[in-house]
């Protein structure tokens, strides 16, 4: 039995399963009426579809968070590198300026 949709309506397709052993009947038989079986299976099917959609939504949200955190980490690393370079250049310029002042003062005394 396969539960499918055709033209927006749920239908049940029956397949005959043949087995090599003689223990099983080639026709699948149910004791209940097909309507009762469908009434029992339909809520389970719908619940499973809603649960699957919620799980996919949660997985998608977690994947987006992981991607955002990864990008933030990469950006922070790059910002740290750029700020370190900028700080070192300014410190080097200040040291060079102080050395030039000392040398200019020494030359003025001579």
53-106: pLDDT as tens digits: 999 999 999 999 999 999 999 999 999 999 999 999 999 999 999 999 999 988
Question: What's the pLDDT score for residue 27?
Answer: 66
Asked whether residue 57 is domain-assigned, the answer is: yes
Largest Cα–Cα distance in the chain?
A: 118
The more confidently predicted of residues 25 and 76 is 76
Is residue 39 scored above 70 in pLDDT?
A: yes
Query: How many domains, in total, are found in the chain?
Result: 1
Is residue 50 scored above 80 in pLDDT?
A: yes
Residue 89 belongs to what domain range? 48-102
The more confidently predicted of residues 32 and 75 is 75
Asked whether residue 42 is domain-assigned, the answer is: no
Asked whether residue 33 is domain-assigned, the answer is: no
CA-CA distance, 82 to 74, in Å (whole number)? 12
Query: Within 13 Å of residue 71, how many CA atoms lie on the same side as its CB?
Result: 6
Long-range interactions of 39-43: CB distance < 8 A, separation 24+: 41/3, 42/10
Tokens of 37: 């079986």
């Amino acid at each position: 039995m396969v539960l499918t949709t055709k033209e927006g309506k749920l239908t049940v397709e029956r397949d005959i399963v043949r087995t090599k052993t003689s223990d099983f009947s080639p026709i699948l038989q149910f004791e209940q009426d097909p309507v009762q079986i469908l009434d029992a299976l339909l809520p389970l099917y719908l619940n499973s579809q809603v649960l699957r959609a919620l799980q996919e939504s949660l997985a998608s949200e977690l994947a987006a968070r992981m991607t955002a955190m990864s990008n933030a980490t990469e950006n922070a690393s790059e910002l740290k590198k750029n700020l370190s370079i900028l700080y070192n250049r300014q410190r080097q310029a200040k040291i060079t300026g102080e050395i030039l002042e000392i040398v200019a003062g020494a030359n003025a005394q001579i």
